[in-house]
Structure 1
Amino acid sequence: MISTGSIRTVVGIIGNVISFGLFLSPMPTFLTIVKKRAVEDFSPIPYLATLLNCMMWVVYGVPFVHPNSVLVLTINGIGFFVEALYIAIFFIFAPRRLRLKIFGILVAELLFVGVVLGGVLGGAHTHDKRTQIVGILCVIFGTAMYASPLSVMKMVIETKSVEYMPFYLSLVSFLNGICWTTYSLLRFDLYILIPNGLGALLAAAQLLLYGMYYRTTPPKGGLKQNLELPQIVPTNAPEFLSSVTIER
């Protein structure tokens, strides 16, 4: 008979693959930035937020905080390097004022993660206590990230158009949330369950909206505004924040 641990490992590997695909979904945006040698009106904030989220889940997944979390550690480690690459591209092609803003946020994030890591190592002497402290912080950041698609969903309802809420991105986000929710239930982990369960519900709501407003969506180019696609990633495989950037 296949053990629960083996099933959990398989689910985690599938989650890693899906999450990696989500990490790569903004690639067309950055190819455009490199081609034009300018960031235009694209915002670096979603990628900076995702970088922080990945760093926090890496801290959560290291053995001295939460043992037996290799698959959480691997995908967030990959996510860290992917997001770092995106931010590096932003930094290269951004104007000086935006570079200073990016640098300031990066320093603040690194200091914050350093304080958290130092705090749990110095002040929490058991795995349970370290897991609790870092896990609560991960849930807070993850929940905040999952609230971001609400703005896109609001726009869909107001415009009765799903032009800027891609079906496949919503579908993959839903599958990703379901995958990591299942992973958290097989060996119960509340800190992984909360953000990913919420992410699965929000992605399901997006799919429902897509079904409701697909037929009322105007042809391509029917709206004058050109927006960057929303980015959605579950926290432990993280993610992307949703963002809407208007080009004028």
Structure 2
Amino acid sequence: MDSTLFIVGVIGNIVSVLVFVSPIKTFCRIVKGGSTEEFEPSPYVFTLLNALLWLYYGLTKPDGFLVATVNGFGAVMEVIYVILFIVYAVDHDTRIRTARLAAAVDIASFGVVFLITTFAISELSLRIMVIGMICMCLNIVMYGSPLAATIPNGIGFVLGTIQLIIYAIYKIRASQSSNEITDDTSQASAPLVLSDTV
């Protein structure tokens, strides 16, 4: 049973390493172009926090070697990505905003979790459970964050659909009204025939 868990863990680590190295193509493009272009820093900043917290979890848990190693690698990769993002930011404001975001999320948030779980929770099993719950919640938020981009698109889709429906209704009613006006006009403009029998 232990060997099966270890093998599954190694397979999970391989997949995780592939996830952590997947942005390399993007960052080659950034370095080659000398600009971050339209890319956003937040996925890399939050992935760094995620990797740091899972690293902390793996180091805290007695049998968390596989979790610690892969997330240690991930943390190093994400630090490189964030630094490259700051260096190649489009402008000074983006550079400052990215540095502040990284400081607030990666340093402050991780620091708060580390201090609270280390000094406020003395029981190891409870500490491991709390860190694990925080990591799971962050995973859900991190991997669900692309939905934030679809919400405005979804709202735009709904509003666009409503506009098309209103336009179609208006066009149908406008054409019916013009047909009625045409019928009334054709009857009103019919030639007046006077009879000679008066």
Residues 1:124 and 2:144 are matched in the alignment: no
RMSD: 2.1
Partner of 2:160: none
Residue matched to 2:92: 96
Higher RCO (C-alpha under 8 Å, 6+ residues apart): 1
Q: Is the CA contact 1:66–1:131 (under 8 Å) kept in the aligned structure 2?
A: yes
TM-score by length of 2: 0.71
CA distance in 2, matches of 1:106, 1:152: 21
- Inter-partner Cα distance in structure 2 for 1:19 and 1:86: 16
Q: How far apart, CA to CA, are the structure 1 residues paired with 2:134 and 2:71? A: 15
1:189-231 CA-to-partner distances (Å, cap 9, x unmatched) read xxxxxxxxxxxxxxxxxxxxxxxxxxxxxxxxxxxxxxxxxxx
* Structure with max Cα Rg: 2
Which of 13, 19, 43 in structure 1 is aligned with 2:10? Answer: 13
TM-score normalised by structure 1 residue count: 0.57
Q: Which residue of 1 aligns with 2:37?
A: 40
In the alignment, which residue of structure 1 is the partner of 2:65?
70
Residue by residue, what CA displacement relative to the aligned partner does 1:51-79 show, whole Å, maximum 9, x if unpaired?
Answer: 010011111111xx321011011111100
- Structure having the larger proportion of residues in helix: 2
Q: Which segments of 5 or more consecutive residues in structure 2 lack a partner in the other structure?
A: 158-198
Q: 1:55 aligns with which of 52, 55, 61?
A: 52
TM-fit CA distance, 1:152: 7.5
CA distance in 2, matches of 1:128, 1:30: 39
Q: Distance in 1 between matches of 2:93 and 2:147?
A: 29
Given candidates 133, 144, 147, the residue that maps to 1:136 is: 133
Closer, same or farther: CA 148–116 of 1 in aligned 2, 3 Å: closer
Equivalence for 2:188: none
Displacement of 1:153 after TM fit? 7.8
How far apart are 1:149 and its partner, in Å? 4.4
Q: Does structure 2 conserve the Cα–Cα contact (< 8 Å) formed by 1:66 and 1:130?
A: no
Matches of 2:87 and 2:150, distance apart in 1: 32
1:144 Cα deviation from its structure 2 partner: 0.8
Matched, 1:22 2:43: no
Aligned-partner residue type, residue 118 of structure 1: L
Runs of 4+ in 1 over 2 A off after TM superposition: 148-155
Report the residue type matching 1:114 in the other structure. G
- After TM superposition, the structure 1 = structure 2 runs for residues 1-248 of structure 1, keeping only pairs within 5 Å, are 4-62=1-59, 65-94=60-89, 95-108=91-104, 109-150=106-147
- Structure-1 separation of matches of 2:148 and 2:107: 28
Tell me how far 1:146 sits from its aligned partner.
2.4
How far is 1:148 from its partner? 2.9
Tell me the percent identity: 34
Question: What is the identity, as a one-letter code, of the residue corresponding to 2:35?
Answer: A
